[in-house]
Amino acid sequence: MNRQELIKQIKKKGSFLCVGLDTDPDRIPKHLIEEVDPVFSFNKAIIDATADHCVAYKPNLAFYEALGPAGMESLAKTIDYIPEDCFTIADAKRGDIGNTASSYAKTFFETYNFDAVTLAPYMGRDSVDPFLAFEGKWSIILALTSNPSADDFEKLKLSNGDQLFEEVLKQSSQWGNYENIMYVVGATNAAALQKIRKLVPHHFLLVPGVGAQGGSLEEVAKYGLNADIGLLVNSSRGILYASSGEDFADAAKAEAKKLHDQMRKLIP
């Protein structure tokens, strides 16, 4: 899905919500465990319940990989099931170079046919270029995350006065453009979000950390929205595990709708 189509979907639905499919077998409602593929059954119900309220789905690879080859089957079925009008993100945070990076790009863009993949920038441009070579696909680069140890390296002050995440934004925004690069930006720091918006005014930002991780949707919208919306705000656990009972899908729908209602008011 390209930028224009994504913006069109956001405006049509009045939502910039991304639902994170961090499907943890230990947290799936008990009545689903008897199913042939409980992870897919859970995802299917969540997608059916939330598709009217979101514009994107973001499976978190770790949870599928932990289940071995069967988990990757659940992932493949999930991707196939996501409606055509939704943007798909592999939350994989890969970062490698050369033919290894090309193989990861092939994994997410061809084998599983995602629209986008999250990437770690530590190894530099060599670790992103092979993904940008895929026409019509997106690289979503980690910039500033919302975990406490973002202080360890991401916020380190460089000799040129910038913090590392600012340098990552400045350099990496030159490797591609706002039609094939987005950035991961944590929601817990409004001042930083403001700074980031100045550095990359046109890029989409993928913002996790609203809800469970403590970020405010209003603040994110205030500092993050641009003329083309430019935001995908993710919620995972708050939606997936809103209820652990047989009503989990209804509860997930209610949570997604709550965020959708807030977003509708925030979209200019």
* Residues forming the site for a copy of itself (CB under 8 A): 22, 24, 60, 62-63, 65-70, 72-73, 76, 91, 93-101, 103-104, 106-107, 110-112, 120-127, 142, 145, 147-154, 156-159, 161, 164, 167-168, 171
C-alpha torsion sign, points 160, 150, 89, 87: negative
Cβ proximity to a copy of itself: between 69 and 268 the closer is 69
DSSP structural state of residue 156? P
Cβ proximity to a copy of itself: between 30 and 157 the closer is 157
What's the closest the beta carbon of residue 227 comes to a copy of itself, in angstroms? 30
- Whole-angstrom distance, CA of residue 165 vs CA of residue 120: 11
What's the closest the beta carbon of residue 256 comes to a copy of itself, in angstroms? 21
In contact, 10 and 229? CB cutoff 8 Å: yes
Read off the tokens for 108.
């997410």
Read off the tokens for 28.
């799936």
- Whole-angstrom distance, CA of residue 229 vs CA of residue 11: 9
Cβ proximity to a copy of itself: between 130 and 224 the closer is 130
Give which of 145, 225, 228, 131 is closest to 181, Cα–Cα. 131
What's the closest the beta carbon of residue 96 comes to a copy of itself, in angstroms? 5
In contact, 166 and 195? CB cutoff 8 Å: yes
Strand, coil or helix: 220? helix
- The most distant pair of C-alpha atoms in the chain lies apart, rounded to whole Å, by 58
Cβ proximity to a copy of itself: between 48 and 96 the closer is 96
What's the closest the beta carbon of residue 228 comes to a copy of itself, in angstroms? 28
C-alpha torsion sign, points 229, 253, 108, 28: positive
Cβ proximity to a copy of itself: between 133 and 156 the closer is 156
DSSP structural state of residue 38? H
What's the closest the beta carbon of residue 189 comes to a copy of itself, in angstroms? 14
Give which of 228, 223, 166, 229 is closest to 199, Cα–Cα. 166
Annotated active-site positions, please?
93
